[in-house]
Amino acid sequence: MEQQHAAHHPSVKGYLLVFVALGILTGLTVALSYLPISHHVGIALAIAIATTKCALIATFFMHLKTENRGITYTVLVGLFLVIVLIGAMIPDVGIVQK
């Protein structure tokens, strides 16, 4: 039974690795914001890093990796609707060229 437990629940070492990864990514995204890179590249990198961090938290801390797929699909519905929302609003406001 102990072995079953160990197989079912992720190890503490795994959690700590995710923690280290989250810390490094946070440091990276802050460091990038101080660098003289173009505004658009900066936004793209910040979004990419934030998305990676969210994926790490959801996959490992919230256990989506080992959970029933139905839960992932439930969350994806919410994410999809947010993307629809952004897409639906952009034509209304437009994008100002800076």
Partner 1 sequence: MSHAAAPKTTTGIPNGKLGMWIFLASEIMLFGSLISSYIVLAMGSPTFGRPDTALLGKPLATINTFVLITSSVTMVMALASIQRNNVKALLGWMGATSFLGLGFLGIKAFEYHHKIAEGITITSSLFGSFYYTLTGLHGLHMLGGLAFNAYIAIKAMRGAYSADHYERVEYAALYWHFVDLVWVILFPLFYLV
How crowded is residue 21: how many other Cβ atoms within 10 Å of its Cβ?
A: 14
Establish if 24 lies at the interface with partner 1 (CB under 8 A): no
**Pick from 3, 35, 36, 96: which binds partner 1 (CB under 8 A)?**
96
> What would the 3-class secondary structure string for 20-82 be?
HHHHHHHHHHHHHHHCCCCHHHHHHHHHHHHHHHHHHHHHHHCCCCCCCHHHHHHHHHHHHHH
3-state secondary structure of 71: helix
Q: Any contact of residue 43 with partner 1 (CB under 8 A)?
A: yes
- Asked whether position 41 contacts partner 1 by CB under 8 A, the answer is no
Residues that bind partner 1 (CB under 8 A): 1, 4-5, 9-10, 12, 15-16, 18-19, 22-23, 26, 29-30, 32-33, 39, 42-43, 46-47, 49-50, 53-54, 57-58, 61-62, 67-68, 70-71, 74-75, 77-79, 81-82, 85-86, 89-90, 92-96
